[in-house]
Structure 1
């Protein structure tokens, strides 16, 4: 089923959404450097199964507006967009699926507006309680020892300019490096001060086993047009997210959660603590399923589409029964 496209006014931005099908809503939230299109295979599967599948371009991505202020990229602000989307479609609740920044967004959505959440299906980025210090503190410590993209992204204008010089080259390298075909943490062998594109491995020529040349072209076209600043501002807002969640220190979402992760996902290996699954299991009172997807990396929904779709449809079926 080919998705239709439209825009809604969220009260904060003009947001582009792609949608297909009808029935109970399932809303997909992407990460960086992504657009709604990283979910296009899931939109097809979910809509074919009898649900209303919706994938927005989140703030700063694709065809959605990209405000200038960093505070406009906090999870609190983007949650406002998601609630406006629910209001637009006349739904009290939806199942939400997310990966990367979309996953972090959904964990906070589950804290701030649990009454609007039927359930969460999260890929690769497990829940962890609020850290005692702001994320930037830990990033700075790590970046003293080796290249760290998180720290590299923080200074306005620097990464923006570097990535915009070769958008297709950057995207092909970073998608490949984050996949199960490469060990992403090898990037840490580069010294501080390295440009990200130089720290990343050269990517094989497309198509890959999990991404066609046409799919890559669709993703790259948006970034060739917009640049990367909108997405980078999500990183620059992370310390602000930490400040804004002080009231949720020690809290965890009470909503139903389904979690799947790629066996070779770098977030699970290097960015989520020593025992991310045990930490999440101890924190979440309604964690209903955890699934490891063999061989997959960070873009697990593209690398292992069949496994993710089966997991997703199973979760949505249980949540909407």
Structure 2
């Protein structure tokens, strides 16, 4: 956050500054939520998603299920700058990255991420679950048990970073990058690279992005909803709370509800308007990072519900 803020204050394009900030995490092998060393899919392959939006020029770019590139946010920016498209996926995204001069690696796993995948495989023991429903439940429970045992940071189970920013001229941009849901079905794409879900920017209004259960966000297109709520005059916090209420109302499957009848998952939104007003909101208690002229801070999100998702 500090790096991105420093670049913005020195006059760097806001999107370039934000991407430079998230690159620190994408390239960090100790960060299992994004990029190099991100937690892999069910086959042990790291597949990455990212998108970015540039408010001043009304342009966007994204990649999904890309393999072999440590910093997918830079490939997303290349899609924005070098093509007339908004989203490239899979092998096509990788081929584009190669043509743009990006290094393609055979494997983005680190010793840590590969070891965690092997532990997950040991816990699911799929040969004992011939019924697809039971097998799916075993796979999910194995991942959650690793969170409970302290092997996986709970903030990295869904594994995403959203970074939005605005400069003194009111120019707004945003970027979201992720290794996606841990142990996902190969080819699964969540909300992160989808405009209006994992990220939405309107240069006249502001930006919103998300982390958490992507499927819940995709169904409701909450980043777009939040920006539109701000367009109608709501504050960043109030706009974000409206999105959380929408998700809660539309979560009706019993498997997604806890004993209180509330969503049994977390989802967070990070919001800034072009005046520099910001907020973090969440389904349950969570924190977010912000950097202003007062320096970097970790703040508590405004939760919609008390307690925890598992209560």
Higher helix proportion, which one? 1
Higher strand proportion, which one? 2
Tell me the TM-score normalised to structure 1 length. 0.27
Greater relative CO, 1 or 2 (CA 8 Å, sep 6+): 1
Tell me the TM-score normalised to structure 2 length. 0.28
